[in-house]
């Protein structure tokens, strides 16, 4: 049990109709009796209209108080929420009142940290709280909510459940050194390990889209000067973000904006047109374009298709990135030059009248989201931390397999499997998998 009681403004500070001050900890209700004018009996989970009093008994604010009696609260502790007027000064004065009555100002994330420490959620769920708040697209929000609901934690726990009997089997042989693991038992254990490995690989495969959901797919608009790259950025954004002009070399720095296409978050990057640089500034701009292309998830290559294809100036992309390139035949309102007709997958578009934008949106979805979590009904998309842990788990399981196949000592195999268990424990924030294992095994009988 955490001893101190924490308080914080839970809504963002600025003028609004309502702001919420949240307090959590063992003294929350006692403090509330001093800070708020509360009725004698406070029923949990029932809003009551209260005043906030200053040190002299004067009224600071009026609003609603809610009492959540621990452990049935967000943090697992006693929690008081005060919903008051959403002014900057009034909210700060209300918070100060709680602090004057003994509460400590909460650190960032501390309410959720307490929820985790008090066993209200696992670590993946705690992470998902921020994913929900930061979600920039409907698909990102859906994946965050799946995680908040415990989907990733359940997957890791299920894998642990599959490993435990394997470990129990192998540990049994440690106690009976005269016995060998029979070929049938060995084959059965290998099959079980393979099944967990397959789950690990499936989850690891969601990490690329997990990154896209959390940070947006880096989408670089690239092409020669004056083809309409900035015009396309503005068109997709729906407002005039970048400067558009008939002068070649208008955009000299990269411009980034987040948009949503069919529920997918895109980090759109408008770049300097690629050509022989006219001056130093343009040269730096072009270097930035090249750097952006190296880390792009998607490239929208724009050409002026009212003109014949240029001899040079087309993008050279890695084979991998070339598969994630969409070619836009811009300025189609001026009529497409027939030499572009061989580019079958290209999309004719006009930034002037908006023709082709829907086809572009569909193409973006097709390139990024045809498989994996972005296309799933219940998307699971792991983050970089989960990825590292699942990869460690897979490595240890592979090592265990190899050891089993080479009939190495059961102690050694068991060690690898315990480390795989620990990696899964790290995903959900189990501090001491060893201890949990010992508790589980103390209920096993020999040979089981
Ligand atoms: N007719 C027509 N003109 C367009 C279209 N798209 C862009 N333009 C014009 O083309 C010129 C260049 O457009 P920009 O969007 O500045 O082109 P850019 O590729 O960003 O140019 P740089 O930043 O200089 O490389 C402007 O005069 C635009 O109005 C289009 O679809 N049709
Ligand atoms: K231009
Ligand atoms: Mg531009």
The fold adopted by the segment(s) 212-371 is Rossmann fold (3.40.50)
Is 69 annotated as ligand-binding?
Answer: no
**Does the pLDDT value for residue 448 go beyond 50?**
no
- CATH number of 6-117, picked from 3.20.20.70, 3.60.20.10, 3.30.1360.120, 3.40.50.150: 3.30.1360.120
Is 15 annotated as ligand-binding?
Answer: no
Instruction: Report pLDDT digits (tens) over 343-395.
Output: 989 999 999 999 999 999 999 999 998 778 888 888 999 999 999 999 999 99
Ligand 1: which residue has its CA nearest to atom 32?
A: 331
- Whole-number mean pLDDT of the chain? 91
Interface ipTM: 0.99
Residue 285: what pLDDT?
Answer: 80
CA 75 to chain centre: 22
Residue 443: what pLDDT?
Answer: 62
Q: Which ligand is nearest to the CA of 306?
A: 1
DSSP letter string over 150-197? THHHHHHHHHHHHHHHHHHHHHHHHH-TTPPPPHHHHHHHHHHHHHHH
Q: Which ligand is nearest to the CA of 232?
A: 1
Give the Å distance between the CA of 223 and the centre of ligand 1: 11
CB neighbour class for 238 (10 Å; exposed up to 12, middle 13-18, buried from 19): exposed
Instruction: Report pLDDT digits (tens) over 307-353.
Output: 999 877 577 888 888 889 999 999 999 999 999 999 989 999 999 99
Average pLDDT over residues 51-55: 93
Domains in the chain: boundaries: 6-117, 138-206+382-442, 212-371
Residue 1: what pLDDT?
Answer: 52
Q: Are 132 and 148 in contact (CB under 8 A)?
A: yes
Give the Å distance between the CA of 288 and the centre of ligand 1: 20
Residue 274: what pLDDT?
Answer: 83
Give the pLDDT band (50/70/90) at residue 50: very high
Long-range contact pairs involving 2-5 (C-beta distance under 8 Å, separation at least 24): 2/26, 2/77, 2/114, 2/117, 2/118, 4/104, 5/31, 5/102, 5/103, 5/104
Domain 138-206+382-442 bears CATH identifier 3.40.50.1820: no
Residue 446: what pLDDT?
Answer: 47
Residue 40's φ and ψ, nearest 5 degrees, are: -60, -45
Q: Return the percentage of the chain with pLDDT > 70, whole number.
A: 96
Give the Å distance between the CA of 365 and the centre of ligand 2: 28
Residue 442: what pLDDT?
Answer: 66
CA 439 to chain centre: 33
Is 265 annotated as ligand-binding?
Answer: no
Is 448 annotated as ligand-binding?
Answer: yes
Which pTM was predicted?
0.86
Ligand 1 neighbours (beta carbon < 6 A): 225-231, 244-246, 248-251, 273, 330-331, 333-334, 350-352
């Amino acid at each position: 049990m955490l001893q101190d009681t924490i308080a914080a403004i839970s809504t963002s500070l600025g003028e609004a109709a309502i702001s919420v001050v949240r307090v959590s900890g063992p003294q929350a209700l006692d403090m509330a009796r001093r800070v708020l004018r509360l009725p004698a009996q406070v029923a949990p989970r029932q809003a009551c209209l209260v005043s906030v009093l200053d040190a002299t008994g004067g009224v600071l604010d009026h609003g609603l108080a809610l009492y959540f009696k621990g452990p049935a609260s967000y943090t697992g502790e006693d929690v008081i929420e005060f919903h008051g007027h959403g002014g900057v000064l009034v909210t700060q004065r209300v918070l100060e009142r709680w602090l004057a009555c003994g509460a400590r100002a909460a650190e960032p994330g501390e309410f959720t940290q307490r929820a985790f420490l008090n066993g209200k959620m696992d670590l993946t769920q705690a992470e998902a709280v921020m994913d929900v708040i930061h979600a920039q697209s409907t698909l990102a929000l859906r994946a965050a909510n799946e995680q908040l609901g415990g989907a990733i934690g359940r997957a890791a726990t299920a894998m642990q459940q599959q490993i435990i009997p394997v470990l129990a089997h192998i540990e049994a042989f440690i106690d009976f050194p005269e016995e060998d693991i029979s070929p049938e038992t060995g084959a059965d254990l290998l099959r079980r390990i393979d099944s967990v490995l397959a789950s690990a690989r499936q989850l690891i495969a969601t990490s690329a889209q997990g990154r896209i959901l959390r940070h947006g797919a880096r989408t670089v608009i690239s092409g020669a000067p004056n083809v309409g790259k900035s015009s396309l950025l503005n068109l997709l954004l729906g407002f005039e973000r970048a400067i558009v002009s008939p002068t070649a070399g208008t955009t000299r720095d990269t411009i980034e904006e987040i948009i949503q296409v069919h529920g997918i978050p895109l980090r759109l990057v408008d770049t300097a047109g690629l050509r022989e640089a006219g001056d130093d500034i343009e040269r730096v701009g072009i270097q930035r374009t090249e750097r952006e292309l190296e880390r792009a998830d998607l490239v929208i290559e724009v050409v002026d298709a009212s003109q014949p294809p240029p001899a040079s100036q087309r993008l050279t992309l890695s084979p991998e990135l070339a598969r994630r390139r969409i070619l836009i035949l811009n300025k189609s309102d001026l009529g497409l030059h027939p030499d572009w007709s061989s580019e079958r997958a290209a999309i004719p578009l006009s930034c002037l009248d908006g023709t082709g934008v829907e086809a572009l949106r569909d193409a973006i979805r097709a390139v990024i989201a045809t498989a994996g979590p972005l296309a799933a009904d219940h998307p699971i998309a792991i983050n970089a931390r989960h990825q590292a842990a699942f990869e460690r788990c897979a490595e240890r399981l592979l090592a265990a397999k190899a050891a089993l196949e080479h009939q190495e000592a059961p102690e050694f195999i068991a060690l690898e499997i315990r480390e795989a268990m620990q990696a899964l424990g790290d995903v959900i924030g189990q501090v001491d998998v060893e201890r949990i294992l010992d508790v589980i095994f103390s209920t096993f009988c020999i040979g089981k």
